[in-house]
Amino acid sequence: MMGRQEIGQAPLFYAFNLEDHVPANHMLRGIDRFLDLGELHQHLAPHYSHTGRPSIDPALLIRMLIVGYCFGIRSERRLCEEVHLNLAYRWFCRLGLEDAVPDHSTFSKNRHGRFRDNDTLRFVFEKVLERCLAEGLVGGEGFAIDASVIKADANRQKGVPGADAAWDRESPLTRPVREYLEALDDAEAPRTPPKNVSLTDPAAQWTAAPGGPAFYAYSTNYLIDVKAGVILDVEATPAYRTDEVEATRTMVDRVEQRFDLKPTRLIGDTAYGTSEMLGWMVDEKNIEPHVPVWDKAQRKDGTLGRSDFTWDADAAEYRCPQGKPLRSSGIPTADNTLIYRSNFHDCAGCELKSKCCPNTTHRRIARQVNESARDVARQLSTTKRYAQSRRHRKKVEMLFAHLKRILRLDRLRLRGLKSARDEFLLAATAQNLRRMAAWLMPKGPEAAMATAL
């Protein structure tokens, strides 16, 4: 018999429990298990007055932001609507059915105010990382480093040449422009004007690195542990290769200082194989550089390359295939390179001159000041551990793919370098929480039993 829904008078009272309506295997249950904001209020206490009306709970704002970044909800206005409608989001944010959802403008006021003044988003990120460490997801032996370009919220058609960029400091300036000018004023050395500058987000870098038409962008730099792909640190920089490489030192030093973690090996691509970076890894940090060496010494015209000469460390000189020395003055050039030259008379009658230096009177070899560290990297590149590191490097690339395709952070919504840092920190926090939920939460019937307990 066909049933019909009876429509009667609505009951006066309802017995409704949000806990019963959130599935046992919902991702937010796992995230809620590993997110501890118990110390957040103490962290933010100096930024609140002891009198006046109570503010919106900062823990509620952080939980809502985590929901947005975990599920790719890019608009805060839409995030408020989703939290209002979605029972699981309400449960995670500790909101009852009758509790009001904060207005979207509240996020902007807190982000540009007390959250940024007290570095709250990094505090939350590091608290989540501490939980990853406690759960045994961080091995601490191998780290991987890489950067990915994220489009800035700046129209590529609305830019001016860097030399022509100027702002009237007497008139009101937008926050991104004001932060950019303050950074220029605080810089120790003047920087060459960029090729193109956005008038709305001048800190963004004009780049065509991914291929195709150029655009304004920032780079998110990840330092991850290769055991489970946990993000150990994240740093925002303009999409400029030098800034990306320098961010590695900042992140490795910060992780060592705050968590007493230093890797045995550091994995990266050729961009991190510069002489200065390899010297820093080997000589200063005692880290194995599992990085391809940035080397242009090998010749492509068939003449003898540097590898055909023998380095004599005791005498600090090269020996050519005929046993003749190439010596240096010991004074490095501006790019920290020592030039080793052969004797004119040794080369004049040499039978290998046509294969060695056919267009010059004598042979010159450039050797980096950190060449010994480069030799260490070359030697490591022949080992099985290095081949394994090449496979491990894919884990950081997978995180970037997840960031752009699942979390939908392929374009920034906020402007300015500080805002880019905030977005990248929140996204990395969401990725670590999702990783813990996926790896550590029980599945199937076990999840239902764990929820019932």
Q: Which domains does the chain have, with CATH numbers?
A: 18-118 (no CATH), 140-164+177-291+378-410 (3.30.420.10), 310-373 (no CATH)
Percent of the chain residues past pLDDT 70, beyond the cut:
93
Angstrom distance (rounded) from CA 316 to CA 368: 13
- Which has the higher per-residue pLDDT, 47 or 216? 216
Q: pTM here?
A: 0.88
* pLDDT reading at 94 higher than 90: yes
Give the per-residue pLDDT at 13: 67
Please state the three-class secondary structure of the chain as a single string: CCCCCCCCCCCCCCCCCHHHHCCCCCHHHHHHHHCCCCCHHHHHHHHCCCCCCCCCCHHHHHHHHHHHHHCCCCCHHHHHHHHHHCHHHHHHCCCCCCCCCCCCHHHHHHHHHHHHHCCHHHHHHHHHHHHHHHCCCCCCCEEEEEEEEEECCCCCCCEEEHHHCCCCCCCCCCHHHHHHHHHHHHCCCCCCCCCEEECCCCCCEEECCCCCCCEEEEEEEEEEECCCCEEEEEEEEECCHHHHHHHHHHHHHHHHHHHCCCCCEEECCHHHCCHHHHHHHHHHCCCEEECCCCCCCCCCCCCCCHHHCEEECCCCEEECCCCCEEEECCCCCCCCEEEEEECHHHHHCCCCHHHHCCCCCCCEEEEECCHHHHHHHHHHCCCHHHHHHHHHCHHHHHHHHHHHHCCCCCECCCCCHHHHHHHHHHHHHHHHHHHHHHHHCCCCHHHHHHHHC
Q: How far is CA 306 from the centre of its chain?
A: 36
Do the Cβ atoms of 358 and 339 come closer than 8 Å? Answer: no
* pLDDT reading at 453 higher than 60: no
Give the per-residue pLDDT at 263: 94
> What does the pLDDT average to over 56-81?
94
Q: What angle do CA 128, 126, 401 make, to 5 degrees?
A: 70
Q: How confident is the model at residue 209 (pLDDT cuts 50, 70, 90)?
A: confident
* pLDDT reading at 55 higher than 50: yes
Do the Cβ atoms of 216 and 189 come closer than 8 Å? Answer: no
- Which has the higher per-residue pLDDT, 368 or 310? 310
Angstrom distance (rounded) from CA 357 to CA 324: 14
Angstrom distance (rounded) from CA 63 to CA 93: 6
Find, among 243, 281, 263, 207, the residue nearest to 392 by Cα.
263
Average pLDDT, the chain: 87
Q: How confident is the model at residue 9 (pLDDT cuts 50, 70, 90)?
A: low
Give the per-residue pLDDT at 446: 54
Angstrom distance (rounded) from CA 78 to CA 100: 15
> What does the pLDDT average to over 1-17?
69
* pLDDT reading at 208 higher than 90: no
* pLDDT reading at 449 higher than 50: no
Find, among 138, 135, 129, 132, the residue nearest to 226 by Cα.
138
**Weakest-pLDDT range from 76-80, 104-108, 262-266, 301-305:** 301-305
> What does the pLDDT average to over 129-148?
95
- Which has the higher per-residue pLDDT, 100 or 171? 100
- What are the beta bridge partners of residue 233? 223
* pLDDT reading at 443 higher than 80: no
Find, among 40, 23, 26, the residue nearest to 128 by Cα.
40
User: Residues 386-429: pLDDT tens digits?
Assistant: 999 999 999 999 999 999 999 999 999 999 999 999 999 999 99
Do the Cβ atoms of 123 and 40 come closer than 8 Å? Answer: yes
Both structure tokens of 413: 């919504």
> What does the pLDDT average to over 427-436?
96
Find, among 395, 364, 50, the residue nearest to 228 by Cα.
395
Percent of the chain residues past pLDDT 90, beyond the cut:
50
Give the per-residue pLDDT at 451: 46
Q: How confident is the model at residue 3 (pLDDT cuts 50, 70, 90)?
A: low
Q: How confident is the model at residue 296 (pLDDT cuts 50, 70, 90)?
A: low
* pLDDT reading at 450 higher than 50: no
Residues in the chain: 453
| Strand-strand pairing, 317-319 and 310-312 | antiparallel
Give the per-residue pLDDT at 448: 47
φ, ψ for residue 260, nearest 5 deg:
55, 45
User: Residues 183-194: pLDDT tens digits?
Assistant: 877 776 667 777
> What does the pLDDT average to over 156-163?
79
Do the Cβ atoms of 207 and 218 come closer than 8 Å? Answer: no
* pLDDT reading at 83 higher than 50: yes
**Weakest-pLDDT range from 8-22, 87-101, 390-404:** 8-22
* pLDDT reading at 157 higher than 50: yes
Residue 257 burial by Cβ neighbours in a 10 Å radius (0-12, 13-18, 19+)? exposed
Q: How confident is the model at residue 140 (pLDDT cuts 50, 70, 90)?
A: very high
> What does the pLDDT average to over 363-392?
89
Give the per-residue pLDDT at 12: 64
* pLDDT reading at 110 higher than 90: no
Alpha-carbon dihedral sign for residues 244, 250, 251, 252: positive
Give the per-residue pLDDT at 418: 92
Residue 222 burial by Cβ neighbours in a 10 Å radius (0-12, 13-18, 19+)? buried
